[in-house]
Structure 1
Amino acid sequence: MENIESIMDAIEKYLDEKEDLRERSIKACRNIIRHSRKAIQKMHKNENIEAANDLEKALAELTEIHSLLKDRHNDLLYTGFMENAYRELSEGFCLLSILQDENLPQPEDLNVTSSSYLLSLGDVVGELRRLTLDCIRNNRYDEAEEFFRKMEKIYISLLRFDYPSGMISIKKTQDNCRVLIEKTRGDLTVALCNRKIEEKLSRLEKPLKEKTEESKKEDVEDLNIDRVW
């Protein structure tokens, strides 16, 4: 047992290193989540360039953490705090791609897991609902319908995945997407019906207004005192 101390020293060194990297990873994940959420907020303000800058900062942090963990402590790459960061980052990049009418980024390009990527697409559906409602409020119905179609496309794509929750817990995300889509469908349908009613009323209002003005003009002419005398 003369070597027990050297064994303990090596294990202690390994665990100290792992603890240090874990703390650094947690801090980096907080930054990744913060940058990603700021980017999403900016996208809703149509500040896509600034949003892209925030996402690049988040991706740079994630890339650095990956390089530190992948060799000796790659098990930390699959912890809960890392998955949360992956999900927020993926959501931001996917939403930006949709707004810029580009192809979605690949999971491996973002250094994220497949499960976090799929779950992030469910979150994107929620952001697209917000954008749809914003368009409805501003009478941009064509854009609203386009965002809604993208919501449906993502939802249909997610329905392909039917795996045990131990592999990927996606059932709740699928259910949430379905609820959001049905609510948005109702909101959009009501808005479009109201628009049609307003257009018909506007078409009816114009001839009625013209007829009323003609009637007033005739009344004035009838009351013209010169004509009476």
Structure 2
Amino acid sequence: MENKSLTSIKKVTTLSNSMFKDIHKSREIGLKISREIIGISSRSIRAAHRGEFKESQKLIDEGIRKLKSVKPKVIKYSSDINSTFMLDGEKELCEAIFFICFTSNKVVPSKYFNIFSPSSLLKGMAEAASELRRSALDKIRDNEVIESEKYLEIMNGVVDVLESVDFPEGVTAGLRRTTDQLRSVVERTRGDITIALERKELEISINSLKEELKKN
């Protein structure tokens, strides 16, 4: 007599293997595109550092197209796979978006708000603010200390708004830790700018004294 239980478990296993094949395929596609998005975001930020904002925006648009193409495929199996790798790509893309807005003094377009998860948006904002430290230091090296203070003002503003987010880490995906890291970067940047301003004032005083001595 045929064992019906064995027959049924074979069918379940065959079906599960078929589903695993689809899940694995979607996961591999998601991982590949996520890595590509991270690379695109990094190039976008470097372009913005160079002041090449059109190129930076072009790369952001490319990253968003890739994200939109793959996200539905991964979300379909989100209950079966750990899809947090997609959040890494999202966060890096958000960082690029915020960074170009910070450095070009533009408003963050609202069209982006519904594309990303809230944690990706806010963590990307925090990391973009951290990236402004490099911009501030570049201004100090170029002897444009006053300009560097504008970046510090943005960094302070980002810390202030992030500290107003009061939800558990399990909801915000580690936002508090990211905010703490940003706060440390802000304090180091403030110290660098303070030293640069004091040095500039000292140079002015020395030059003024030299002029007085020449008159005498």
Would you call these one fold, judging by a TM-score over 0.5? yes
Aligned to 1:37: 42
- The correspondence of residues 23-172 of structure 1 with structure 2, limited to 5 A, is 23-70=28-75, 72-75=76-79, 79-106=83-110, 109=113, 111-168=115-172, 169-172=174-177
Q: Is the 8 A contact 1:159 1:174 kept in 2?
A: yes
Deviation, 1:38, is 1.1
Give yes or no for the alignment of 1:204 onto 2:209.
Answer: yes
CA RMSD, 1 decimal: 2.2
The offset of 1:209, in angstroms, is 2.8
Residue 219 of structure 1 is matched in structure 2 by: none
Give the corresponding residue for 2:24.
Answer: 19
Q: Alignment length, in residue pairs?
A: 210
**Counterpart among 166, 177, 182 of residue 182 in structure 2:** 177
Give the unaligned 5+ runs of structure 2. none
The answer for the alignment partner of 1:191 in structure 2 is: 196
Q: Which amino acid aligns with 1:209?
A: K
Q: Give the structure with higher Rg (CA).
A: 1
- TM-superposed CA distance for 1:86, in Å, is 0.9
How far apart, CA to CA, are the structure 2 residues paired with 1:99 and 1:10? 52
The superposition leaves residues 173-201 of structure 1 with CA deviations (integer Å, 9 ceiling, x where unpaired) of 12112211111111111111111121222
SS in 2 for 1:86: helix
Inter-CA distance 75–55: structure 2 relative to 1 (3 Å threshold): farther
Task: Note the C-alpha offset of 1:108.
Answer: 5.1
The alpha carbon displacement at 1:204 in A equals 2.5
CA distance in 2, matches of 1:97, 1:136: 21
Quick one: structure 1 residues 78 and 158, their matched pair in 2 at CA, closer, same or farther if it must change by over 3 Å? farther
* Alignment gaps of 5+ in structure 1: 212-229
Deviation of the 1:139 alpha carbon: 1.1
What's the TM-score once normalised by structure 1's chain length? Answer: 0.82
The TM-score with structure 2 as length reference comes to 0.87
| Displacement of 1:122 | 1.8
Higher relative CO (Cα under 8 Å, sequence separation at least 6) belongs to: 2
* Aligned mates of 2:137, 2:129 — CA distance in 1: 12
Cα distance, 1:155–1:133 mapped onto 2, change above 3 Å: same
Cα distance, 1:77–1:41 mapped onto 2, change above 3 Å: farther
Structure 1 77/210 Cα, relative in aligned 2: closer, same or farther at 3 Å?
Answer: farther
Change (3 A) 1:200 1:208: same
Tell me, yes or no, if the aligned pair for 1:69 and 1:76 is still in contact at 8 Å.
no
